[in-house]
């Protein structure tokens, strides 16, 4: 079960707001691009934050702190996306490019939520002018922006303090954080003998994806017992986020449901759909497909285009004797996916 983070103390909040205000006054977005990446390692926890200043476009101002190897991977995914790429993908694919990061942004009063306004009032802080009020959020794929717990408040305050040192020096030396290969070597503030010093560190390796292990023995036993009908059909199966905040996890954090959609190519119609929160999805989705096969018959082929679908459906395909194929396009399924996204509204029961 996911633990609800501890509440920060008032003094910890005060430190974060003060450091954020000092960072804003430097206006680093006037001379830094969001691709000028640098990193900070916190001595106490050993956590690494990969920092990107944004605001050069003149709309949203702040600092994104991408968290660890997973966050670094989401930074690279965003950095490699050009404007024409975003114009060519639909909303469900854009959901796959969301960051895993702590965000400190500077907003107008009308952009704050009651939680933020109450926090500022409790601290006795006052702000004047546009885009001056700090707002802090955790961003994570599969979830809506969420409030910070105690460890995140401490970490973000520390990173912002170190970021001030970096951006001041960057203004004088724009080559400060430039590496020969920025995908491999990153300018980093690291702890050394009780102080923070400059260093160059290796970019974190891409962490291999891990999925819940299905009980393949149970799948085989159920297949032998129920003897599902073998067919000559081909199914298309895909996983995607539904771009609607319709669910919650145990903490009450709003979540984007993830959907598994299955379409039978011989009939041209959907076979099944299921929506689940991210924490349960990779266990529930392949089991839902397995149960559908037991009821409706086993397809000869299952076409997928995502590596996570390939990995999680492999035990199911092996148990029932279906051929699992990785393809580039699922044209028939996409037509139903777009229709589903357009008409789902706020009612998840349509996916049951």
Give the strand order in the sheet containing 195-202.
133-139, 101-107, 61-67, 48-54, 38-41, 185-192, 195-202
The mean pLDDT value for 289-304 works out to 97
Q: How far apart are CA 64 and CA 99, in angstroms?
A: 9
On the question of pLDDT at 254 being above 90, the answer is no
Backbone phi and psi for residue 284, each to the nearest 5 degrees, phi listed first: -75, -35
CATH 3.30.420.10 fits 216-351, yes or no: yes
Question: What is the pTM (predicted TM-score) of this model?
Answer: 0.87
More confident residue, 180 or 252: 252
350 pLDDT band, cuts 50/70/90, is very low
pLDDT recorded at residue 2: 45
DSSP state of 230: B
**How do residues 204-236 score in pLDDT, each as one tens digit?**
988 888 899 899 999 999 999 999 999 999 999
Q: Report the distance separating Cα 241 and Cα 272, nearest Å.
A: 16
| pLDDT over 90 (residue 349) | no
Which of 68-82, 98-112, 117-131 has the lowest average pLDDT? 68-82
For 123, what's the count of Cα atoms within 13 Å in the CB-facing half-sphere? Answer: 22
Q: How far is CA 329 from CA 103, 142, 236, in A?
A: 35, 23, 10
**96 or 329, higher pLDDT:** 329
Strands of the chain, DSSP E:
38-41, 48-54, 61-67, 101-107, 133-139, 185-192, 195-202, 234-241, 247-248, 254-255, 258-264, 269-276, 301-304, 323-326
Give residue 66's pLDDT band: very low, low, confident or very high (50, 70, 90).
very high
User: Residue 144, exposed/middle/buried by CB under 10 A (0-12, 13-18, 19+)?
Assistant: middle
- The structural domains of the chain, with segments of one domain joined by +, span 10-202, 216-351
Side-by-side strand order, sheet with 258-264: 269-276, 258-264, 234-241, 301-304, 323-326
Averaged pLDDT for residues 316-329: 96
Q: Give the distance, in angstroms, between the CA of residue 82 and the centroid of all CA atoms in the same chain.
A: 18
Using one digit for the tens of pLDDT, what is the confidence trace for 149-181?
999 999 999 999 999 999 999 999 999 999 877
Confidence of residue 201 (pLDDT cuts 50, 70, 90): very high
């Amino acid at each position: 079960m996911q633990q609800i983070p501890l509440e920060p103390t008032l003094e910890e909040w005060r430190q974060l707001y003060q450091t954020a205000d000092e960072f804003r006054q430097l206006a680093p977005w006037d001379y830094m691009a969001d691709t000028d990446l640098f990193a900070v390692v916190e001595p106490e926890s050993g956590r690494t934050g990969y920092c990107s200043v944004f605001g050069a476009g003149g709309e949203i101002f702040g600092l994104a702190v991408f968290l660890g190897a997973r966050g670094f991977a989401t930074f690279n995914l965003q950095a490699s996306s050009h404007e024409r790429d975003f114009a060519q993908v639909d909303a469900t694919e854009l959901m796959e490019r969301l960051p895993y990061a702590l965000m400190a942004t500077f907003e107008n009063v009308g952009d704050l939520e009651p939680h933020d306004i109450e926090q500022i009032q409790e601290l006795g802080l006052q702000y004047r002018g546009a885009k001056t009020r700090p707002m802090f959020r955790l961003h994570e794929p599969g979830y809506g922006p969420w409030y910070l717990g105690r460890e995140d408040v401490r970490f973000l305050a520390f990173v912002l303090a170190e970021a001030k040192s970096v951006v001041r020096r960057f203004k004088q030396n724009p080559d400060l954080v430039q590496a020969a290969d920025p995908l491999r070597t990153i300018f980093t503030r690291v702890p050394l003998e009780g102080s923070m010093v400059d260093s160059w560190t290796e970019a974190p390796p891409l962490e291999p994806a891990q999925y819940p292990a299905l009980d393949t023995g149970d799948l085989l036993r159920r297949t032998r017992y129920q003897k599902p009908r073998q067919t000559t059909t081909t199914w298309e199966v895909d996983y995607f986020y539904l771009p609607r905040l319709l669910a919650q996890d145990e903490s009450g954090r709003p979540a984007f449901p993830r959907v598994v959609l299955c379409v039978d190519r011989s009939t041209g119609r959907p076979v099944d759909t299921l929506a689940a929160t991210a924490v349960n999805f990779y266990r529930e989705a392949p089991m839902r497909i397995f149960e559908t096969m037991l009821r409706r018959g086993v397809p000869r082929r299952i076409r997928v285009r995502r590596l996570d679908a390939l990995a999680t459906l492999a035990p199911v395909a092996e148990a029932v004797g279906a051929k699992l194929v990785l393809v580039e396009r699922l044209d028939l399924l996409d037509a139903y996916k777009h229709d589903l996204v357009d008409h789902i509204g706020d009612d998840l029961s349509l996916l049951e």
